[in-house]
C-alpha cells in the first residue's frame, strides 16, 4: 500500500471539510426557506381571518341595531306588575335608558314565565333583583352571530311571553338557577365561577338539542346560537350550518383579547369542544356558543398550516437527497485522522484528542466483558495468555499510556497500572507485561511486546502507534518493534507461536516495503536486527505463478543470501520457515480443473525442513519445490489465460456502451488483481485493456456514423464515452479526423 504524503493527506482532508461545509450550508438555507414560507402563510391566513371577522362584525352590528329596536318596542309594550310601576317607560333621555334596561331584563325573565310562576318566593325575590340592576347603562358593543337576529324573532313574540324554540328544563334545575340568580355574590371571582357552572349545566341540553335537530333534518349542524339572560340561564337555541367564527386563534385575537372582553371558557363534553364567547354589556347579554361535534372548525382553520408543513417536509427531503448526491470526496475517519496525525504529530494534546474523539469511537466495537465465556476458553487453551482484537489492544496502550504520561507518572507506576487494568478488564490471572501478546485471524496482527518480543501491526494503524511508541520510550525506556507484512498471518501461525515462543525472544524482525522502512527511520525508532525482504519474496511468488521457475529460484537465492549475510543462524531459519509457509499457501490457492500431480505435497518443504543440516540442503529442497510449482502453474497457464482473455473480450463486446467498463471491472470478473490481469491481457492481445476498449468503441461508433443519422452526442453515449468532447478527441486520435468529417467523407456520401 502506497503511503500518502503529508500534502496529499492535507488536500484530501481539506476537500472533505469543504464538502461538509457546503452540504451543511445548503441544508441550513433550505430549513430557513421553509421557516420563512411557514411564517408567510401563517401571516396570510391571519390577515384573511381578520378581514372575515371585520366583515362579520359589520354585519352583526347591523343585526344588533335591528334587534335593539325590536327590544325597545317590546319594552314599551310590556305590561308591568304594579310593584314595578316605577320602571315604566319615561319620556326624558335618562328615564328612557333606564326603562330600556329594565324592560330588557324583564322581557328575558318573562320568557321563562311557564317555569317561574310555580316558585314560592318569586315576587319577593324579583323586587330585590330588579332594584339591584336598575343602574346599568345600555351599550351596543355586542358580538353577534348572523343567526342571532333570527333567534330573537323566533322565540320572542311581540308580547314577549311566547317561546318557540326552547328545550325542556327540569323543574328542580330552574328552581336552583333562579335561587342562584337572586342570591349570587356580585364579586368578579364568584360571578366568573358561577358562569362556568351555568355553562356546564346548559351544555348538555345544547348537545341534546343539536342531536335531535340533526335527526329531524337529516343533516349535521356545525354549530348553534344560544340566547342566555344576564345570569347565564338558557333561553333559546337556533342551529346553523356555519358558525361565524372562522379560525379559533383569530376569534381569540379579535374578540377574547379585546379590552372589553373579560371571559373566555372552553368546555369539553364527551371529547367534543364547545367554544363560548361572552361579550360584556350592561343591558343586553347575548352569548355566542359554538359547538363542533366533529371538530370541523379546527380542521378548516388548520388546513393551510398542515398543507404548508407537508410541503416543507417534501422540500427538506428533496434537498437532503440532492446534497447527498453532490459530487465530492468524503474520506474515511481513519484517513482524516491519519492526515491530522501527520500535520499535528508534534502536538501531544492534539494527538490525544484526535485518537480519543475520532479513532477510538470508530474502533472500539469489541467489549470483552460481554464475551467472558469465550475469553475463559481461550485463556485455558493459551495457558492464561489473552487472545483479543488488535484494535482493542491498541486502545489499551494508547489510552492508558497517553493518559498516564500526561500526568507525568513514573515508568514503574505506569507499567503496574497497565497490568492492573488488563487484569481487571479481562478477568485473567496475574500476567507479566513482558509476556503479554495478542494475535488476530486475517493479515492484520498487533503483537504488544517489550524489547525482547516482536510486534505486528497493520499499515493503517502504524502512524497511530508510532507516535505513542516514542512517548512510551521516553517515559519507560521500553521499545516496541513494529512488523508490517501482508503475510503476517503466515509469518506467525498459531501453532508455531505457541510452540516456538522462545525463539522469538532473541531477535526483532521488521518486514514490509521500503516506504514503511523509511517511515521507521524518519521516526527514529530503534532499528531491528534484521529486515525481512518481503518484496523479494513477493517477486519469487509472482515468478512461480507465471511459470518462470528460473526467476523464482533466482529470487530465492537472493533471499537466502541476505539471511546468510546477517551472520545469524536463527535469521536463516526464520527466512526458511517463512518461505516454506508462503509456498504452502501458494499451493493451497492453486485452482485447476486437472488433478494435482502425485507427490506434489511431498515436494513442498514442511516439517522435513528442520531435518536439513546445512543451508545447501535447504537450497536444494526449495529449488526443487519452486520448479515443481512453476511447472504446475505453467501447464494450464496458456489455455487458462487464453480463456480468461477470451471471456474479457466478450464482456467488452457486450458492454462497450457502459461508461464504467474498464480494466478494474474486467479484472474483477476474472477474479484477478488489476496489475496481473493487465499484463496477461497485453501479453495475449498485444494491447492494453484500456486501448482495446477504446478501439472497439471507436469501431462501433464508425459503424453507427455510416449506418445511422444519430447525432454525435447520441453516438458518444451509445458507445460508452462520458462526454462528446472526449469522444471526439479519441476519435480524432485513432482515425485522424473528427466524427463529422468521417460521416461526410466522399466515399460515405456515395454510399448514402
Q: For 150-201, what is each residue's pLDDT tens digit?
A: 333 333 333 332 222 233 333 333 333 333 333 333 444 455 454 444 544 4
| Cell 481513519, located at residue | 334
Q: For 598-614, what is each residue's pLDDT tens digit?
A: 555 555 545 455 566 67
* pLDDT given for residue 600 in this prediction: 54
Task: Give the whole-angstrom CA distance, residue 704 versus residue 718.
Answer: 9
Q: What share of the chain is helix, strand, coil (3-state, %, to 5)?
A: 65, 5, 30
Residue 653, C-alpha cell as written in the block = 463486446
Domains of the chain and any CATH numbers: 46-304 (no CATH), 332-485 (no CATH), 639-751 (1.10.10.60)
Give the residues of the chain that fall short of pLDDT 50.
1-6, 53-54, 56-189, 192, 194-197, 199-201, 204, 221-223, 225-230, 232, 236, 238-301, 327-402, 405, 422-466, 469, 472-473, 475-528, 593, 605, 607, 750, 752
Query: What are the C-alpha distances in Å from 655 to residues 52, 152, 658, 676?
Result: 67, 86, 5, 22
From its phi and psi, is residue 720 left (phi > 0), alpha (psi between -120 and 50) or beta? left
224: phi then psi, degrees, rounded to nearest 5: -155, 165
| Cell 501453532, located at residue | 495
* pLDDT given for residue 531 in this prediction: 63
| Cell 447525432, located at residue | 711
* pLDDT given for residue 456 in this prediction: 37
236: phi then psi, degrees, rounded to nearest 5: -165, 155
* pLDDT given for residue 306 in this prediction: 67
Residue 717, C-alpha cell as written in the block = 453515449
Q: Would you list the DSSP string of 200-222?
A: HHHHHHHHHHHHHHHHHHTS---
Q: Is the dihedral of CA 204, 209, 215, 219 positive or negative?
A: negative
Indicate the DSSP class of residue 432.
-
Query: What are the C-alpha distances in Å from 680 to residues 319, 361, 535, 618?
Result: 47, 43, 21, 33
* pLDDT given for residue 58 in this prediction: 47
* pLDDT given for residue 545 in this prediction: 80
Contact 555, 533 (CB under 8 A): no
N- to C-terminal Cα separation, the chain: 56
Contact 482, 455 (CB under 8 A): yes
Instruction: Give 446's contacts (C-beta < 8 A, 6+ positions apart).
Output: 390, 391, 393, 394, 438, 440, 455, 456, 457, 458, 461, 465
Of 221, 228, 200, residue with least CA distance to 288 = 228
Amino acid at each position: 500500500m502506497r503511503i500518502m504524503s503529508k500534502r496529499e493527506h492535507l488536500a484530501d482532508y481539506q476537500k472533505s471539510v469543504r464538502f461538509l461545509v457546503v452540504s451543511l450550508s445548503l441544508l441550513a438555507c433550505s430549513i430557513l426557506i421553509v421557516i420563512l414560507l411557514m411564517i408567510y402563510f401563517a401571516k396570510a391566513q391571519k390577515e384573511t381571518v381578520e378581514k372575515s371577522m371585520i366583515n362579520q362584525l359589520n354585519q352583526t352590528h347591523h343585526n344588533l341595531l335591528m334587534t335593539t329596536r325590536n327590544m325597545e318596542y317590546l319594552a314599551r309594550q310590556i305590561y308591568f306588575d304594579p310593584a314595578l310601576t316605577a320602571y315604566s317607560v319615561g319620556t326624558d333621555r335618562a328615564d328612557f335608558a333606564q326603562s330600556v334596561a329594565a324592560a330588557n331584563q324583564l322581557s328575558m325573565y318573562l320568557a321563562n314565565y311557564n317555569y317561574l310562576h310555580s316558585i314560592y318566593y318569586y315576587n319577593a325575590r324579583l323586587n330585590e333583583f330588579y332594584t339591584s340592576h336598575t343602574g346599568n347603562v345600555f351599550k351596543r358593543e355586542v358580538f353577534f352571530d348572523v343567526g342571532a337576529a333570527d333567534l330573537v324573532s323566533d322565540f320572542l313574540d311581540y308580547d314577549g311571553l311566547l317561546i318557540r324554540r326552547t328545550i325542556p328544563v327540569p323543574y328542580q334545575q330552574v328552581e336552583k338557577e333562579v335561587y342562584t340568580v337572586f342570591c349570587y355574590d356580585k364579586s368578579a371571582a364568584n360571578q366568573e365561577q358561577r358562569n362556568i357552572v351555568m355553562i356546564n349545566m346548559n351544555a348538555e341540553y345544547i348537545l341534546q338539542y343539536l342531536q335531535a335537530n340533526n335527526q329531524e333534518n337529516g343533516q349535521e349542524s356545525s354549530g348553534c346560537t344560544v340566547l342566555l339572560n344576564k345570569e347565564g340561564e338558557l333561553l333559546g337555541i337556533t342551529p346553523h350550518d356555519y358558525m361565524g367564527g372562522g379560525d379559533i386563534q383569530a376569534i381569540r385575537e379579535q374578540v377574547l383579547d379585546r379590552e372589553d372582553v373579560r371571559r373566555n371558557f372552553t368546555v369539553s363534553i364527551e371529547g367534543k369542544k364547545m367554544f363560548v364567547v361572552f361579550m360584556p354589556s350592561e343591558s343586553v347579554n347575548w352569548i355566542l356558543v359554538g359547538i363542533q361535534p366533529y371538530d370541523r372548525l379546527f380542521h378548516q382553520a388548520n388546513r393551510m398550516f398542515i398543507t404548508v408543513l407537508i410541503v416543507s417536509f417534501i422540500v427538506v427531503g428533496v434537498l437532503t437527497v440532492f446534497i447527498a448526491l453532490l459530487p465530492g470526496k468524503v474520506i474515511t475517519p481513519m484517513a482524516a485522522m491519519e492526515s491530522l496525525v501527520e500535520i499535528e504529530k508534534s502536538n501531544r494534546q492534539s494527538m490525544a484528542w484526535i485518537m480519543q474523539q475520532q479513532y477510538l469511537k470508530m474502533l472500539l466495537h469489541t467489549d470483552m466483558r460481554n464475551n467472558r465465556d469465550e475469553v475463559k476458553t481461550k485463556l485455558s487453551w493459551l495457558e492464561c495468555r489473552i487472545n483479543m482484537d488488535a484494535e482493542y489492544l491498541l486502545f489499551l496502550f494508547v489510552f492508558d499510556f497517553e493518559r498516564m504520561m500526561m500526568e507525568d507518572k513514573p515508568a514503574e507506576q505506569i507499567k503496574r497500572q497497565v497490568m492492573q487494568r488488563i487484569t481487571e478488564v479481562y478477568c485473567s490471572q496475574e500476567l507479566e507485561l513482558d509476556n503479554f501478546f495478542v494475535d488476530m485471524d486475517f493479515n492484520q496482527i498487533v503483537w504488544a511486546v517489550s524489547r525482547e518480543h516482536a510486534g505486528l501491526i497493520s499499515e493503517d494503524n502504524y502512524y497511530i502507534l508510532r507516535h505513542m511508541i516514542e512517548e512510551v520510550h521516553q517515559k519507560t525506556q521500553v521499545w516496541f518493534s513494529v512488523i508490517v507484512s501482508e503475510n503476517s498471518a503466515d509469518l506467525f501461525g498459531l501453532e508455531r507461536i505457541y510452540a516456538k515462543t522462545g525463539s522469538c525472544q532473541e531477535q526483532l524482525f521488521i518486514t514490509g516495503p521500503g516506504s514503511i522502512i523509511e517511515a521507521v527511520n524518519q521516526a527514529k525508532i530503534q532499528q531491528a536486527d534484521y529486515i525481512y525482504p518481503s518484496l523479494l519474496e513477493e517477486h519469487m511468488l509472482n515468478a512461480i505463478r507465471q511459470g518462470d521457475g528460473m526467476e523464482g529460484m533466482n529470487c530465492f537465492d537472493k533471499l537466502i543470501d541476505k539471511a546468510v549475510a546477517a551472520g545469524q543462524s536463527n535469521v536463516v531459519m526464520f527466512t526458511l520457515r517463512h518461505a516454506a509457509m508462503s509456498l504452502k499457501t501458494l499451493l493451497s490457492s492453486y485452482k485447476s480443473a486437472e488433478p494435482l500431480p502425485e507427490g506434489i505435497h511431498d515436494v513442498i518443504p514442511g516439517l522435513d525442513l528442520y531435518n536439513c543440516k546445512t543451508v545447501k540442503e535447504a537450497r536444494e529442497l526449495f529449488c526443487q519445490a519452486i520448479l515443481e510449482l512453476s511447472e504446475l502453474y505453467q501447464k494450464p497457464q496458456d489455455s487458462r489465460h487464453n480463456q480468461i482473455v477470451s471471456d474479457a473480450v466478450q464482456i467488452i463486446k457486450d458492454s462497450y456502451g457502459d461508461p464504467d467498463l474498464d480494466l478494474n471491472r474486467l479484472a474483477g470478473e476474472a477474479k484477478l488483481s488489476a496489475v496481473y490481469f493487465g499484463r496477461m491481457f497485453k501479453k495475449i492481445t498485444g494491447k492494453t485493456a484500456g486501448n482495446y476498449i477504446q478501439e472497439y468503441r471507436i469501431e462501433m461508433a464508425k459503424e453507427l456514423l455510416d449506418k445511422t443519422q444519430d447525432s454525435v452526442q447520441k453516438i458518444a453515449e451509445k458507445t460508452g464515452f462520458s462526454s462528446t468532447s472526449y469522444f471526439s478527441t479519441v476519435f480524432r486520435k485513432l482515425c485522424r479526423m473528427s466524427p463529422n468529417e468521417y460521416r461526410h467523407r466522399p466515399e460515405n456520401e456515395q454510399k448514402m
